[in-house]
Structure 1
């Protein structure tokens, strides 16, 4: 992801100094005009705006341990928890830096692809976000979600949790039809189409009383029970269904 982000800033003409924990991975960016730093501290010293995109929160702390962050604006795009983001903001302030937290809602091929649907969530001081918005918007669309530092991480992990459950459901569906003579490609198309058709209805979870929701509890319970019985008939673990639909617990 870091390489994908860096590539777009270079293509847009922004001067860029890069550092990677695996030095060889910076060769491509060097050919595209990036200056490659020998250390993270050297990269930080190269300019006022510092963007980190590493494995985890501990990686950020380790990488920047010896860097002078005085007067720097640190934008952290590393996936973290809300508490870790708030802690990182306090840590940055203690080192003399201003801080923005970010959550990348994309995979590398979606970077610099305006029609891909990818974007980056940001939280922290609005004025700081506005100051750097034009640069931050180069790789992907930006979505500012609030002043509270942990909000970008919370939104990021919440959306990733929804995605994880969706993929788990798709794997469960394939497990059900395995060995039943289904054509995998054809069935995969059905799964993708059905999920896409149902996806818009998820927005209703933000409404405590969704308009037009007339499905009776009895119908929902009967449907959930059928899902469980089918899984058992097919020899597929029911843990996902039980965790996903509270009404089936104990059936």
Structure 2
């Protein structure tokens, strides 16, 4: 798919990996609708990106909110060709913690709702809009890119909830690709390692530095623009489908 004039919706597009993806798509001549909860930063980022970008406040876990965001995109740009799911939250809680306190079920459910259910909610509604597109010369109508994490494979101590959601995103990649294949819609997943994003920057150095040490090369945090570059490659490479790709500097996370 040629990115020029194509329309992408990006959850979590007001910061981090989502913002970097929006910048990359705009730079290649595409159009972007930012789906984000942050109604202060979202409009600011859209303004920075120019006339081919817009913002709509969105709760990815709420069906009505996402439907309204899809409708706003159609009204603004007339189509959806690409959906990139970057919205997500982290958590750090052992299954059984100090004084034998069990993991808070509400926290587990919240992480599942945002990271897994929210991803699927947006993907399914965006795909329904994509199905109305005229197919291109390769019979393609659209692409979904979901965001997992290396925690899907190397979950650390305290990451049961987070790893479960990211493993779920990986697990549904191929079934979604198979479901949508007759419609000419692809689905891929990116599993980032440690990236220089607000989510990771909230962690203290004593948490970040050991993760950097586990990264083989280059020994640093990933740059969000490198995630955006991979999204753009997935858009442009039509034969890439049903796949999860790690982008992690060859990190294999240890238990702690």
Q: With the length of structure 1 as denominator, give the TM-score of the two structures.
A: 0.32
Query: Larger helix proportion, structure 1 or 2?
Result: 1
Q: With the length of structure 2 as denominator, give the TM-score of the two structures.
A: 0.31
- More relative contact order in 1 or in 2 (CA 8 Å, sep 6+)? 2
When Rg is computed on C-alpha atoms for both structures, the one with the higher figure is 1
